[in-house]
Chain A
Amino acid sequence: MSPVFRHGRLRLYLLKLLEESPRHGYEVIRLLQDRFLGVYSPSPGTIYPRLARLEEEGLVTHEVRDGKKVFTLTDKGRAELNARLDELAELEQEIADSVRDIAREVKEDVRETVRALRDELTRVARDIRRGEAAGRTAGRSEPRAEERRGPRRLFPPITVAWGRPPQELLDEGEQWAREWLRIWDQFWSGFGGTGAGGTREARDDRRAEYDAELGRMLADFVARIRREAAQAELDENTLTYCREALDDVAERIREALRG
């Protein structure tokens, strides 16, 4: 993505971003990432020295708010930006082109991932079936797929990360579930009646909201019990008691669900 910013164009784009509104350095970096859909990620080591240089030249000025430097465009900076409007239009065109490139890249990349996955799973499935057939003829019924598999990746690399690093998406259970439920809650609470459907859709929305809440309660419950069980000594008596308690609770919940 670097060709977009040849010949001092990053400087021009920084001026443009600061003209829109005063911003701090981190915000500028994030905006650049967003505008390039995460494909171009400038490092703080690129951006902060550039902002400092712009300030030396008197194009921007900064004040410290909450311990952060907030940069503002000066009149001199605005003059330079106005003098280079043609170039800015050209730059925005190139950015649009790069968005189109990103779209193409996403498509090819997803298709490649999908093709690889399909091939891999087809091969593994075939190996298992062969293993089973071989097992039957040899008088064994255990599938032997595990040792037959060749080296492979669990997840193909995600080259375009949509705002979040992929490892965060794959983060461990509890934290992940919470994160997801948060997104889910936000989604349902932030979603008004946009469809043309009216009451039926609204009812469906509420149902899904309740359903999400129930799912969240269950997930929280399991996470809590597991955490506590990890610190306790489990034996057969405790287990029997837990089973009875769970059956009891399940019955009460079932009654409530039946209304």
Chain B
Amino acid sequence: MQRWTIERPDRLTFGPVTELTVRIVAGRLAVLASDGPPMLEVSEVGPAPLTVTHDDGRLSVGHGDPTLKGVLGWLRPDRRSATLTLTAPRDCPVQVGVVSASAVLAGFENRTRVRSVSGDIVLDGVSGEISTETVSGTVESRALAGDLSFTSVAGELTVADGTPRRLRADTVAARITADLVLTPTGHVTVTSISGPVVVRLPADVDTDVVLRSSIGSITTGFGDLRCDGHPGARSVSGRLGGGMASVEVTTVSGDVTLLRGEPRPGGEES
């Protein structure tokens, strides 16, 4: 096992990395997939040093406590800040935990997990199994594919150009915006207490749809859905196209909007 303690800006290059874990408190973090050599660049660090270990392909970069005991455990009054850029192979599983630091992740294809307390999360071109959990940080994503799970208390979630096989998004009070192309058996479940939910699907989508809201409004751009309106449990449901996929949105007071986009590029056949 190799071990480094980093107290000033530095740059390290590593041998093969098969698993990556990064945990920092404050600052900025970028983790990019690359087929070049795995690399860590530390642009700012302090006052507390950063610990880096590389053990049998497992690379960990972080502040203090190297065990995975949840994010809140290491909320301490000191200011542990770092600005880091990492590159790792695209097939490498990545785990990131931040408290207030912002995190950018791009290009990974395996299992990607990001937890944040208040730090904003940006994801680009990530596929495989992706999960993000945040209290109040926003999650902004583009070109995600695969099995996506988002949990947020108050952090806004946006999925631009997503092609999920499965998407599960849960929030208490945050707005959820998703522009999706569904896979043939895609499964989308969105639940929100008070946050508004806006989902856009291609006009020629093949999916079953159920939209429910206790007191929020339900609006849809697809004319061929059936409305069941009785007070306390209103729902709009129906089948669009061939209906292999499934989309379910449930809110208590959040408004639900299902929009009809343009037909999928590439046409009818699926």
Contacts and interface: CB of A to CB of B under 8 A. Distances in A.
Interface string A9-37: 00000000000000000000011001101
Interface string B21-65: 000000000101111100101010000000000000000000000
A38 to B, nearest CB: 8
Nearest to B263: A154
Contacts of B142: 109-110, 113-114, 156, 158
Contact of A172 (B35, B39, B141, B270): B270
Interface residues of B, number: 69
A162 B269 CA distance: 26
Given A100-B43, A223-B184, A113 B242 contact: no
B219 A121 contact: no
Nearest to B227: A141
A30 B122 CA distance: 26
Interface stretch (A52-60, A75-83, A188-196, A238-246): A188-196
B90 A162 contact: yes
B220 A37 contact: no
B32 A190 contact: no
Given A162-B90, A212-B165, 10 more contacts: A106-B122, A143-B220, A161-B125, A163-B90, A173-B184, A187-B128, A187-B146, A194-B19, A218-B244, A222-B242
Nearest to B128: A187
A88 interface: no
Contact of B124 (A31, A162, A208): A162
Contact of A110 (B123, B165, B184): B123
B36 A35 contact: yes
B34 A114 contact: no
Interface in A210-257: 212, 215, 218-219, 222-223, 226
B124 A160 contact: yes
A223 to B, nearest CB: 7
A91 interface: no
A215 B186 CA distance: 9
Contacts, number: 210
Contact of A215 (B68, B146, B185): B185
B189 interface: no
Contact of A190 (B110, B163, B220, B265): B110
Contacts of A122: 198
A70 interface: no
Contacts of B34: 34-35, 37, 99
A111 B111 CA distance: 23
Chain B contact surface mostly:
strand
A111 B259 contact: no
Contact of B107 (A104, A156, A162): A162
A107 B30 contact: yes
B146 to A, nearest CB: 7
Contact of A124 (B158, B184, B221): B221
Interface string B227-270: 00000000000000010100000000000010111101111011
A255 B116 CA distance: 43
B260 A190 contact: no
Contact of A125 (B30, B102, B106, B257): B257
A118 interface: yes
A172 B161 contact: no
B214 interface: no
B219 A111 contact: no
Interface string B66-107: 001000000000000000010100110100000000101011
B85 A100 contact: yes
B140 interface: yes
A106 B200 CA distance: 24
B124 A219 contact: no
A194 B223 contact: no
A143 B122 contact: no
A47 interface: no
A125 B219 contact: yes
B6 interface: no
Contacts of B122: 106-107, 110-111
8 contacts: A34-B34, A37-B106, A114-B140, A161-B125, A162-B143, A187-B109, A194-B111, A196-B68
A135 to B, nearest CB: 11
A9 B220 CA distance: 56
Contact of B93 (A118, A146, A176, A191): A191
